[in-house]
Amino acid sequence: MTYNFKDGEVLCFNKPLGWTSFKVVGHVRYHLCRRLHIKKFKVGHAGTLDPLATGVIIVCTGKATKRIEEFQMHTKEYVATIRLGATTPSFDLEHEIDAHYPTEHITLELINKALEQFVGKIQQVPPTFSACNVNGKRAYELARSGKDVELKAKEIEIKEIELLEHNLTGDCPYIKIRVVCSKGTYIRSLARDLGVALHSGAHLTALERTRVGDFRITDCIDPLKFKDWLENQTIIEEQEN
């Protein structure tokens, strides 16, 4: 294929575990600058993924960065693994477990009924450890400095929830679900709220974003192979008008 990155291209990457969204952008910018023999280049992403999440992240270059807001509004799909019976302050594995709860009463029927409660337009409180803006600062910055953070509930829409897998035995009972949702949905908050709905506790142990709009995980480039991928593409290198 032929690409004109300066004029504007839209690419999707499979963000590796542990990488920030900013690191993906920086990695792409670095290799594009080397390939195009330039020092500066406009590159941005359309929708943050937590470092502990993997999956689809859309990266726009050049004039296509004007489309970032458009892509941010697209419906997203996730596959989430949620441990039952334990909570963490961040609702995921960023922090250690801070409390344990009974799970003996949890049945498949109870899980399915609880999941049904979250389908549709609902009010959701974002995690304290999140990038939400609080008086000009990120909520996670305030939380990590030990300050109390109060976040207001926001309306989000969960269009589909599907139970893919469950194991209610052993010391670490869990479920795996597929979620199709709107912009602004925090799957970590969904895990927290699901634990409450099950009269227990829960937190996220794995998260993969499998789709953003029409961009699917199967379409994604591995960032670690981006340099090699670039070498195999035909690239137009003239300057923007």
Annotated catalytic residues are 50
The full DSSP string for the chain is -EE-TTT--EEEEEEPTT--HHHHHHHHHHHHHHHHT-S---EEESS---TTEEEEEEEEEGGGGGGHHHHHTS-EEEEEEEEESEE-TTSSTTS---EE---TT--HHHHHHHHHTTSEEEEEPPPSSS--EETTEEHHHHHHTT-------EEEEEEEEEEEEEE-SSSS-EEEEEEEE-TT--HHHHHHHHHHHTTS-EEEEEEEEEEETTEEGGGPBPGGGHHHHHHTSEE--PPP-
